[in-house]
């Protein structure tokens, strides 16, 4: 499959529920690189790079999210990997 990059927007009750922290933990376990941040509109944005199968595992987890989150919508845009990240950060 190879390396890919994905931009993900998560909408719902996703801020103030440890969403960014748990996303980073999951990404680290999967060996993914990139970042996660809260957006002004209440959504969470994720940019992740790595093996396509590992990204798909992250997306599957993001559709549910951490314990107190409520995920209403997941927008996914696949891109070509640029390999510009050295870790997975919370921005």
**In which element (H, E) is residue 8 found?**
strand 3-13
Mention every residue, 6+ apart, whose C-beta is less than 8 A from residue 75: 8, 9, 11
Catalytic option among 5, 24, 37, 38: 38
Q: Tell me, yes or no, if 91 is annotated catalytic.
A: no
Q: Which among 4, 5, 20, 24 is annotated as catalytic?
A: 20
Residue 20 designated active-site: yes
- Angstrom distance (rounded) from CA 6 to CA 4: 7
* Strand-pair partners of 38: 44
Give the residue numbers marked as catalytic: 20, 38
């Amino acid at each position: 499959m190879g390396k890919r990059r994905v931009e993900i927007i998560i909408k719902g009750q996703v801020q103030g529920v440890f969403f960014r922290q748990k996303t980073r933990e999951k990404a680290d376990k999967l060996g993914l690189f990139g970042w996660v941040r809260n957006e002004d509109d209440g959504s969470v944005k994720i940019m992740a790079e790595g093996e396509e199968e590992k990204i798909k595992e992250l997306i599957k987890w993001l559709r549910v999210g951490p314990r107190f989150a409520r995920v209403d919508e997941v927008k996914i845009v696949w891109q070509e990997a640029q390999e510009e990240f050295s870790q997975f950060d919370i921005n």
